[in-house]
Structure 1
Amino acid sequence: MSVAFNASILRAPRTGIGQYLVELVRALATDPEFEPWLFNGWNWQAQLPAAALPGYSRLSALVKRGVPNAYALRRLVEQRRFSRKAACADLYHEPSLWPFEFDGPMVMTLHDLTHVRFPQTQPADRLAAIERHAARGVERAQRILVDSQFIADEVCAHYGVPAERIVVAPLGCAARFHPRAPEQLAARLAALGLQAGRYLLCVGTLEPRKNLQLALRAYERLPAALRERYPLVLAGMPGWRAEQLAEPLQRALASQQVRLLGYQDDNALAELFAGARLLLFPSLYEGFGLPVLEAMASGTPVILSRGSALSEVAGEAGLYIDPQNEVVCAAAIQLLVEDQARWLALREAGLTQAQAYSWQRCAQITAGVYREAVKA
């Protein structure tokens, strides 16, 4: 079965949806029944790209600012080039919110409804395009894949989709996320001025939804001696409205106790997870929360928000906080830094919880959905 994928998201540095697409295609490639065709926004290719297109994010931002109706114009060109070969595919899988027109059976993945729940986190022109394309895709798709039951319920409620058209395919965790001995991490961490087990980690795009302002305020409340011993490390690329973080972030960076690392590649991120004392993930809304799973698989306890899909992923292995309460968040950080017994208990619980998730399982569920969609 030939499966056409919209892989244009892989032109940019890989964040959550990009990682999903890469790992899913890799897992599906082990099944000879499926032949992935990848549309990169311009051409078709059989293999996953090794890395993002150099300079793509900067160029894309310049085009959006300087070209009127940039989204619509790019979409028109991409649709024409997509249709040239996609018409020969047995199935089309759209991994995001921007499905192309396609006459055959289609599967769409909805990772979350951020555009519905937090429309203020998107530029107005992008939000309008998302709403138009997503609604059309939901209407056309034979089956809709989601990462969690939480999102399945949201899709049913918002779009009025019958439950039988929605399938939960939980995400997985790549093999590179596993516990590591301090000596295995020494070179990478030393280059960053860090020590294994002696820093706190936040991972995610720098945008309001990730609630990093709470993380910064909670960190400021910690005792000075603790902050001296445990710097707060932020790993992620700037996102929409990142300027809202500018003032608190600049103040935190000036203290030299907060480190801003920017975007980290796959291997660097895996080592950062394994070396952290804890992952702080106070996000306001997630359809899954892949960093939570990756941290648990790395043997790193997680402090996370109660709500959305996060409790579905972490189960009893997370230390939950109110994402609006910096006092509670600071107390949770201090607990996991100072209480070794609690830290060890959460570490073991996280390692056990993470074993329930794999990309192979995600691919097996997805393959079943493909077969259903073709027959529908």
Structure 2
Amino acid sequence: MRVALNVSILQAPRTGIGEYCLQLGQHLHHEGLAKLALFDGWRWREDFPQAALPGYSRVSRLAKAVLPGAYGVRRYLQQRRFSRGARQAAAQLYHEPSLWPLRFDGPMVMTLHDLTHVHYPQTQPRDRLREIERRLPDGLQQAARILVDSQAVADEASRYYGIADQRLQVAPLGYAERFQPRSVAQLRPALHGFSVEPRGYLLCVGTLEPRKNLQQALLAFLGLPAALRERYPLLLVGMPGWCGAALESLLQKALDSGQVRQLGYQDEHSVALLLAGAKALLFPSRYEGFGLPVLEAMASGTPVVACNSAAVAEVAGAAALYAEADDVEGFRQAISLLLEDALLWECQRELGLQRAQHFSWARCARITAAVYREACSL
């Protein structure tokens, strides 16, 4: 089966959807489940694009500010290139892994990762949100099948958009091979550059934006006894987003303490090492469609403290400790338990490793290929 896959998200710095697109595409190809024609937003290619550096997003925002209607212009040009290339590639099906699909003369499958645009519209640039609201409902209507990362998103899509259950298919995500347990000997040289020791720090991974709820993790951490904060500093990994005055003030206070360190964007190899070496991953996000860092931490043998959102609980099950999204004290207590109870820490580590075995990109690819076949048979 010849499938046109939109990989334009891979032109941006790698985030969750980019990892999904790359890993899914590679597994579809390597396991012979589909022949892929890759569209990177401007041209057709046989190889996957390399991730851009973080500065890409600033350049992109500047271009949109200078060019009125930049989304519409870019969309028009992309559509022309996509349509011409899809015909030349003789694509039988089109898979759109992001929020709104291009037009295609044939069956189309799309992936709806989450409904962030519904719950947190303020996290989207105004022009982009307008395009989502204008195009996404039509895309969902036209799609022969809709893939979702979790049952939690399937339930939301059914409620909010009225999508029939038979058109939705849960295809849980997986984790790359780089996320694995590592010995102290393997970790110590790699972590030396971050001035930390293996199992000697806490970690947060994610873009700075309101739904990631970093404020809860910071308040919980600052509420720990001074001895624990000194022994286990908190490292923040992720691209800068926007966080509002309250969080900016709290973050600056935490950074000034010297017990919280902001590492910014890190490449995928460094993130894997940091996850494997952390004492625990703190994942306070209010809303997720899956929570990929949670799975990656479990696969790395690192326990997780998370907010009790539906999708994250679906992924981690009993392998994480939970608190409600506004329960700072509950979050603090969960962190403290992991740091002070060696038996609990080891139990959570083992539960996480066992839980991670239920997820793989190979399984995600097989489910996706089955959905392709269904879509083509309608």
Q: For 1:62, give the aligned amino acid.
A: L
Deviations 1:188-228, CA, capped at 9 Å, x for gaps: 21101111001000011111110001111111111111111
Identify which of 318, 326, 338 aligns with 2:340: 338
Indicate the residue corresponding to 1:295 in structure 2.
297
SS state at 1:291 partner: helix
Deviations 1:318-347, CA, capped at 9 Å, x for gaps: 101111011111111111001000000000
Indicate the residue corresponding to 2:201 in structure 1.
199
Q: For 1:29, give the aligned amino acid.
A: H
Instruction: Find the aligned partners of 2:243 and 2:65 in 1 and give their Cα distance.
Output: 15
Instruction: Find the aligned partners of 1:239 and 1:20 in 2 and give their Cα distance.
Output: 21
SS state at 1:357 partner: coil
Evaluate the alpha carbon distance shift between residue 33 and residue 330 of structure 1 in structure 2; reply closer, same or farther with a 3 A threshold. Answer: closer
Confirm or deny: 8 A CA contact 2:10 2:50 kept in the other structure.
no
Identify which of 251, 254, 268 aligns with 1:252: 254
Evaluate the alpha carbon distance shift between residue 242 and residue 13 of structure 1 in structure 2; reply closer, same or farther with a 3 A threshold. Answer: farther
Residue 256 of structure 1 and its aligned partner are, at CA, apart by 1.1
SS state at 1:190 partner: helix
Identify which of 93, 109, 112 aligns with 1:91: 93
Indicate the residue corresponding to 1:28 in structure 2.
28
TM-score by length of 2: 0.97
Deviations 1:154-177, CA, capped at 9 Å, x for gaps: 111111111000000000111111
Asked whether 1:9 is paired with 2:9, we answer yes
Evaluate the alpha carbon distance shift between residue 139 and residue 31 of structure 1 in structure 2; reply closer, same or farther with a 3 A threshold. Answer: same
Gaps of 5+ in 2: none
Confirm or deny: 8 A CA contact 2:203 2:278 kept in the other structure.
yes
Asked whether 1:349 is paired with 2:354, we answer no
Identify which of 151, 154, 164 aligns with 1:152: 154
Instruction: Find the aligned partners of 1:208 and 1:193 in 2 and give their Cα distance.
Output: 29
Evaluate the alpha carbon distance shift between residue 329 and residue 33 of structure 1 in structure 2; reply closer, same or farther with a 3 A threshold. Answer: closer
TM-score by length of 1: 0.97
Instruction: Find the aligned partners of 1:294 and 1:237 in 2 and give their Cα distance.
Output: 18
Q: For 2:214, give the aligned amino acid.
A: L
User: Any residues of structure 2 matched to 1:218-297 within 5 Å, and which?
Assistant: 218-241=220-243, 245-297=247-299
Instruction: Find the aligned partners of 1:242 and 1:170 in 2 and give their Cα distance.
Output: 32
Residue 242 of structure 1 and its aligned partner are, at CA, apart by 6.1
Asked whether 1:360 is paired with 2:362, we answer yes
Evaluate the alpha carbon distance shift between residue 243 and residue 56 of structure 1 in structure 2; reply closer, same or farther with a 3 A threshold. Answer: farther
Deviations 1:204-262, CA, capped at 9 Å, x for gaps: 11111100011111111111111111110111102245666322111111111111111
Residue correspondences, number: 376
Q: CA RMSD in A?
A: 1.3
SS state at 2:95 partner: strand
SS state at 1:29 partner: helix
Evaluate the alpha carbon distance shift between residue 241 and residue 86 of structure 1 in structure 2; reply closer, same or farther with a 3 A threshold. Answer: farther
User: Any residues of structure 2 matched to 1:178-193 within 5 Å, and which?
Assistant: 178-193=180-195
Indicate the residue corresponding to 2:376 in structure 1.
374
SS state at 1:202 partner: strand
Query: Which range moves more in the overlay, 241-250 or 145-154?
Result: 241-250
Instruction: Find the aligned partners of 1:163 and 1:205 in 2 and give their Cα distance.
Output: 32
Q: For 2:69, give the aligned amino acid.
A: N
Confirm or deny: 8 A CA contact 1:169 1:365 kept in the other structure.
yes
Q: For 1:339, give the aligned amino acid.
A: D
Deviations 1:93-139, CA, capped at 9 Å, x for gaps: 00010211112100000000111122222222221111222111101
Residue 46 of structure 1 and its aligned partner are, at CA, apart by 0.8
Query: Which range moves more in the overlay, 22-31 or 105-114?
Result: 22-31
Residue 148 of structure 1 and its aligned partner are, at CA, apart by 0.6
Identical counterparts, % of pairs: 59
User: Any residues of structure 2 matched to 1:79-118 within 5 Å, and which?
Assistant: 79-87=79-87, 88-118=90-120
Evaluate the alpha carbon distance shift between residue 144 and residue 205 of structure 1 in structure 2; reply closer, same or farther with a 3 A threshold. Answer: same
Instruction: Find the aligned partners of 1:107 and 1:255 in 2 and give their Cα distance.
Output: 49
